[in-house]
Structure 1
Amino acid sequence: MTTVLVTTANGDTGRPMVEYLLNRGLQVRAMVRKDDDRARRLRDSGAEVVFGDLQALRDVRAALDGVQRAYFNFPVGEGLVESAVMFAQAAKEQCLELIVNMSQIQSRPAARSKTTQNHWLSEQVFDWSRIPTTNLRVTFFMEWLTYIAELIRYGRYVMPFDADSRFAPIAARDIALTAATILAKPEGHGGRTYTLTGPVEYTHRELAAEVSRVLGKDLPFEQTTVTTFLDLIGMPDDTAKLRHFEAVTIDQQEGRLAGISDVAPTIIGHRLSTVGDFVNEHRSLFELEYACKEDDCAAV
């Protein structure tokens, strides 16, 4: 039976991907950093859970041993290209049938963001390995909204990006289902690069208005600096995100995240989640009354 390795299996795309692949009858090996409740839930779902570091060749080789297909996803931060090299080498040793590689919509060699440029370099690494690879160039996740959930609860919608920059956010579950569909039936997908977006394009101001409409509360768009934004969401010392978000601000001004792609719904065979769907699914994160009930605090 085919075994698929899912890296960062506790992440926003990893968790649902494990679920989808298991439901399709494939064996799944889920790679995580540590043994915790999230790892236990993966085991309980039927996945084989292995522990390791994507920046350690020994761990990567062990994780890929006996695997036929794999999903490679590296979080924003240092070490992406080195990890891609190690992953490609270990995949080549195992003669993998397919790698699905998570990349960024604005991936290009002259990217301002080192993170974005590293995604492009990683695409080249997998190409050089000659392991059939599908690159998923993905726009902003709808999960971005959860970064500012606490602010939204108190009537603020804050972003570090220009109000009129355009993009079409996509739910992580839809990315996961797209990747899982490719991994379950890889014929025709090797060597392809796909752009994945959500179904509706917004400006940041329009997205704030849509979230306001769904929640039934006034959320005027506020733009702040990247430094202030990272302070507000509890990441004041994350230099990698600071530099990346500053570069992405310019990418958006240049229209590099604009536009809508029909690749994801074509591959999975049904419509994608809308912002309304996402906000309603996670409504408890965005409404103060829900938070108070969970914390047993006084009604407001």
Structure 2
Amino acid sequence: MSLTTPNNRRGAHNKGGIRRNENNKIYGHPLPLIFSEPSNVKYYSPHRALGLFGISSARLETPHCEGILDTATHSVWIMNSGDAMILWRRGFFGKGDLSRSEPSWYTRQANARQAAGKYLTSEEIREKRRAERKQFKLDRARAIAEAAAEAEAAFAEGREAPAIAIPSGATWKPQSSMSDGHETGLPPQIDNGDEDFAEEEPLEDVEHLQLTLQEAFFLLWNLNCLTVLDPATNDPIDLKGIWFAFQKAYYPPALPASIYQSYACRFDNPFLVNYVAYHHYRSLGWVVKGGIKFCVDYLLYKRGPVFQHAE
């Protein structure tokens, strides 16, 4: 029997609705490109009258992000945090090199210096839930073992076994020790009231967004919102140069000049094969992310990893 009251269910629903509404605002754009109405258009204007004939006055805003090619990791690095947030929040492109997905390293470090648990990133929330589920399973298994041992002892002594409460998902609550970060893996809470506490060094954001070559080429060729720089000269690489550089990244090391041309013309180059699949599903509206964690090439999300699990 569930012990959850209607008020509790309503409160949980409200929390979920608030989070969904917040995510819809933050991640509302499926691509870096944005269509915006001119701010000076009045209610009665020729621009609005054009809408009656199917002609829109919306203006296309295209961000101009920069990245550096890194052939060793088969990726393009977005060093500017502003560009990284644009590409992640508008289509979930790339991943943080110090994070599992969303580039949240700086926020996690800042949280560690503030009141731990007051502001949590999506990764911290996930780790906290995993730790709580693990602790719940341990507590439940321990209670079941104690109940079985007590029932066996009572049967041997010819007495009635006492009732032992078995934790359930509706009644179990995490232990207080989990809130200080020891069980969750989160940073422990810092006591800022200590006058002898030394002042910490300024926190520097050292994380960058890492785009796969397929993501970078899609942003550059299809959306024209990315510029890839040569790591040696720091100059922009033209489209033709990027096309060959991305394929060359998968060539065997120290390739002899005698067989270089044969590799340059191969249609089974990993970049080409992966890009065909990536372009196909991105063009259909899917959010395509790497699936190495599940031993697959790609994971497909309807809207993105923030909203639901991959299909």
With the length of structure 1 as denominator, give the TM-score of the two structures: 0.21
Higher relative contact order (CA 8 A, sep 6+): 2
